[in-house]
């Protein structure tokens, strides 16, 4: 995974197990956790390939590490 996870933006999964597409991580304010979504394209209306909820950022990091993902994050301030 890239060095710094960015919330609420898309990151392209360029390496790893099982999934290729665009990862989006957001905070779940109601349950105090995090959603990890993988979309086919960098669009929240694209096909969802994976949807998981995690209780902590540490759990997200463990999941991403286990997937051997390399993610290139982008946001409006730092486009790809």
Per-residue CA distances from 13 to 16, 30, 41, 44 (Å): 7, 27, 11, 15
Q: Which structural domain, as residue segments, surrounds residue 56?
A: 10-73
- Residue located via tokens 């197990």: 17
Q: Give the pairing of strands 33-39 and 48-54.
A: antiparallel
Query: For residue 6, what pLDDT is reported?
Result: 78
Question: Nearest 5°: phi and psi at 63?
Answer: -60, -50
pLDDT of residue 69: 86
Placement of tokens 């304010």 in the chain:
29
Domain membership flag for residue 79 = no
Residue 78 lies in a domain: no
Query: Is 30 a domain residue?
Result: yes
The domain total for the chain is 1
Q: Is 4 contained in some domain?
A: no
Provide the whole-model pTM.
Answer: 0.81
Residue 15 lies in a domain: yes
> pLDDT 10s per residue in the chain (80 long)?
444 677 888 999 988 888 889 999 999 989 999 999 999 999 999 999 999 999 999 999 889 888 888 888 765 555 44
pLDDT at residue 1, rounded to an integer: 44
Domain-embedded: residue 42: yes
Whether 2 is covered by a domain: the verdict is: no
């Amino acid at each position: 995974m890239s060095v710094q996870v960015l919330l609420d933006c898309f990151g392209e999964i360029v390496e790893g197990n099982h999934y290729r597409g665009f990862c989006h991580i957001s905070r779940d304010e109601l349950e105090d956790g995090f959603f990890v979504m993988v979309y086919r394209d960098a669009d929240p209306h694209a096909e969802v390939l994976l949807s998981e909820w995690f209780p902590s950022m540490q759990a997200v990091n463990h999941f991403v590490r286990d997937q051997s993902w390399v993610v290139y994050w982008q946001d409006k301030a730092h486009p790809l």
